[in-house]
């Protein structure tokens, strides 16, 4: 067995210290050690986007990122994003527009959509498609996911106009 390595990071705002094998991915660490099972594992080789998390505010593939690479960094999972309240409108629109069926892709989809809307408050449907091109869904056919994100952008725009 390889030598264990000590790491510290913030996960959803909470400081965490652990001693881990150097080859453990952050997705496995989050799921098996931290019990944060909202980070899903599908392909486990960087294709499907189910394992999407935020690392220092940028989305990354949890299955391609070793936990030791996150040493000293801030990790946010779907649990943390949900608890922050930041994405509650996006989540409500995923439900109301039927943008999820089995839900396996949904945490990654929502985190990718959250990143897009932070960078581009008024994305076109094409821009939404482009941004989500690394997140696969086997159930919905994507149209309803685009609808949910587009609706969220419009509602946020309207709310800003009201203020
Ligand atoms: Fe990481 Fe598919 S599980 S990209
Ligand atoms: Fe089932 Fe997307 S809702 S994979």
Q: What pLDDT does residue 74 have?
A: 98
Domains of the chain: residue spans and CATH? 5-81 (3.10.20.30), 85-162 (1.10.150.120)
* Distances in whole angstroms, Cα of residue 9 to Cα of each of 65, 139, 141, 145: 14, 35, 37, 32
Q: What whole-number distance in Å separates Cα of residue 117 and Cα of residue 154?
A: 11
DSSP H or E segment with residue 117: helix 106-119
* Cα 109 to ligand 2 centroid, rounded to whole Å: 9
* Residue 1: band (very low, low, confident or very high) from pLDDT cuts 50, 70, 90: low
Q: What pLDDT does residue 2 have?
A: 76
21-80 residue pLDDT tens = 999 999 999 999 999 999 999 999 999 999 999 999 999 999 999 999 999 999 999 999
* Cα 3 to ligand 2 centroid, rounded to whole Å: 38
As for ligand 1, residues whose beta carbon falls within 6 Å of it are: 41-44, 46-51, 61, 63
Q: Identify the DSSP state of 9.
A: E
* Cα 157 to ligand 1 centroid, rounded to whole Å: 32
* Residue 87: band (very low, low, confident or very high) from pLDDT cuts 50, 70, 90: very high
pTM comes to 0.95
Handedness of CA 11, 26, 50, 38 (dihedral sign): negative
């Amino acid at each position: 067995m390889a030598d264990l390595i000590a790491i510290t990071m913030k996960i959803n705002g909470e400081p965490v210290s652990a001693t881990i094998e150097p080859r453990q991915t952050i997705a496995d660490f989050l799921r098996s050690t931290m019990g944060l099972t909202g980070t899903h594992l599908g392909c486990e080789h960087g294709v499907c986007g189910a394992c999407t998390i935020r690392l220092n505010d940028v989305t990354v593939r949890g299955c391609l990122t070793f936990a030791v690479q996150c040493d000293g960094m801030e990790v946010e999972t779907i649990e943390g994003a949900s608890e922050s309240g930041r994405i509650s409108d996006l989540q409500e629109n995923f439900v109301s527009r039927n943008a999820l069926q089995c839900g396996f892709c949904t945490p990654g989809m929502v985190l990718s959509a959250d990143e897009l809307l932070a960078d581009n408050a008024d994305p076109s449907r094409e821009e939404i498609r482009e941004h989500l091109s690394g997140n696969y869904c086997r159930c919905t056919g994507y149209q309803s996911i685009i609808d949910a994100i587009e609706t969220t952008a419009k509602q946020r725009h309207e709310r800003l106009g009201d203020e």
